[in-house]
Protein backbone atom coordinates (compact mmCIF):
# COMPACT_ATOMS: atom_id res chain seq x y z
CA UNK A 1 0.00 0.00 0.00
CA UNK A 2 3.01 2.27 0.17
CA UNK A 3 2.46 5.40 -1.86
CA UNK A 4 -1.18 4.73 -2.70
CA UNK A 5 -3.35 7.79 -2.69
CA UNK A 6 -0.63 9.93 -4.26
CA UNK A 7 -0.34 8.74 -7.88
CA UNK A 8 0.82 12.13 -9.11
CA UNK A 9 3.72 12.20 -6.60
CA UNK A 10 2.88 15.73 -5.53
CA UNK A 11 -0.17 15.50 -3.30
CA UNK A 12 0.35 15.99 0.40
CA UNK A 13 -0.77 13.47 2.99
CA UNK A 14 0.16 12.10 6.38
CA UNK A 15 2.66 9.64 7.74
CA UNK A 16 2.31 8.07 11.20
CA UNK A 17 5.38 8.60 13.40
CA UNK A 18 5.97 6.69 16.63
CA UNK A 19 8.90 6.91 19.03
CA UNK A 20 9.72 4.40 21.74
CA UNK A 21 11.59 3.87 25.04
CA UNK A 22 13.31 6.92 26.50
CA UNK A 23 12.64 8.96 23.34
CA UNK A 24 8.95 8.79 24.22
CA UNK A 25 9.74 10.27 27.65
CA UNK A 26 11.73 13.10 26.08
CA UNK A 27 9.20 13.74 23.30
CA UNK A 28 5.75 12.62 24.50
CA UNK A 29 4.23 14.63 21.64
CA UNK A 30 5.72 12.02 19.28
CA UNK A 31 4.49 8.89 21.07
CA UNK A 32 2.09 8.43 18.14
CA UNK A 33 1.54 11.32 15.78
CA UNK A 34 0.27 11.91 12.26
CA UNK A 35 2.65 14.23 10.38
CA UNK A 36 1.76 16.00 7.15
CA UNK A 37 4.36 15.67 4.41
CA UNK A 38 4.61 16.02 0.65
CA UNK A 39 3.87 12.74 -1.14
CA UNK A 40 7.54 12.24 -2.08
CA UNK A 41 9.53 12.68 1.12
CA UNK A 42 12.29 10.94 3.07
CA UNK A 43 12.67 9.72 6.63
CA UNK A 44 15.00 12.69 7.18
CA UNK A 45 12.33 15.14 5.95
CA UNK A 46 9.89 13.60 8.44
CA UNK A 47 12.39 13.87 11.30
CA UNK A 48 13.18 17.47 10.33
CA UNK A 49 9.46 18.32 10.23
CA UNK A 50 9.08 17.33 13.90
CA UNK A 51 12.54 18.54 14.94
CA UNK A 52 13.68 15.09 16.03
CA UNK A 53 17.36 14.18 15.91
CA UNK A 54 17.53 10.43 16.45
CA UNK A 55 20.31 9.33 18.77
CA UNK A 56 23.37 7.50 17.51
CA UNK A 57 22.50 3.89 16.76
CA UNK A 58 18.75 4.49 16.55
CA UNK A 59 16.76 1.88 14.65
CA UNK A 60 14.32 3.34 12.15
CA UNK A 61 11.61 1.23 10.56
CA UNK A 62 9.28 2.20 7.73
CA UNK A 63 6.32 -0.17 7.57
CA UNK A 64 8.29 -2.65 9.73
CA UNK A 65 11.30 -2.64 7.37
CA UNK A 66 14.71 -1.25 8.39
CA UNK A 67 15.27 2.21 6.92
CA UNK A 68 17.90 4.92 6.67
CA UNK A 69 17.40 8.70 6.84
CA UNK A 70 17.49 8.82 3.03
CA UNK A 71 14.79 6.13 2.69
CA UNK A 72 11.56 7.34 1.09
CA UNK A 73 8.30 7.61 2.99
CA UNK A 74 4.91 7.79 1.35
CA UNK A 75 1.43 8.86 2.34
CA UNK A 76 0.02 6.30 4.76
CA UNK A 77 3.38 4.85 5.85
CA UNK A 78 4.24 4.21 9.50
CA UNK A 79 7.70 5.22 10.74
CA UNK A 80 8.95 3.85 14.07
CA UNK A 81 12.07 5.19 15.81
CA UNK A 82 13.71 3.07 18.50
CA UNK A 83 16.75 4.35 20.40
CA UNK A 84 19.57 1.89 20.98
CA UNK A 85 18.91 0.20 24.29
CA UNK A 86 21.66 -0.54 26.78
CA UNK A 87 21.75 -2.97 29.61
CA UNK A 88 22.19 -6.59 30.25
Please give the C-alpha separations between residue 25 and each of 20, 44, 65, in angstroms, as whole numbers: 8, 21, 24
Domain limits, the chain? 13-82
Q: Please give the pLDDT value at position 53.
A: 93
What CATH number labels 13-82? 3.10.20.30
Name residue 32's beta-bridge partners.
none
3-state secondary structure of 74: coil
Contact assessment for residue 54 and residue 79, using Cβ atoms and an 8 Å cutoff: no
The residues, ordered by sequence, that sit 6+ positions from 25 with a Cβ below 8 Å of its Cβ are none
pLDDT of 7 > 90? The answer is no
pTM of the model as a whole: 0.81
Question: What digits encode the pLDDT tens for the residues 9-41?
Answer: 445 789 999 999 999 999 999 999 999 987 679
Contact assessment for residue 79 and residue 17, using Cβ atoms and an 8 Å cutoff: yes
Q: 88 falls in which pLDDT band (50, 70, 90)?
A: low
Question: What digits encode the pLDDT tens for the residues 38-47?
Answer: 767 999 999 9
Amino acid sequence: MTGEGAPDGGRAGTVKLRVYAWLRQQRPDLASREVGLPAAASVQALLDAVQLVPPEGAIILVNDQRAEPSSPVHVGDTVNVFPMLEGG
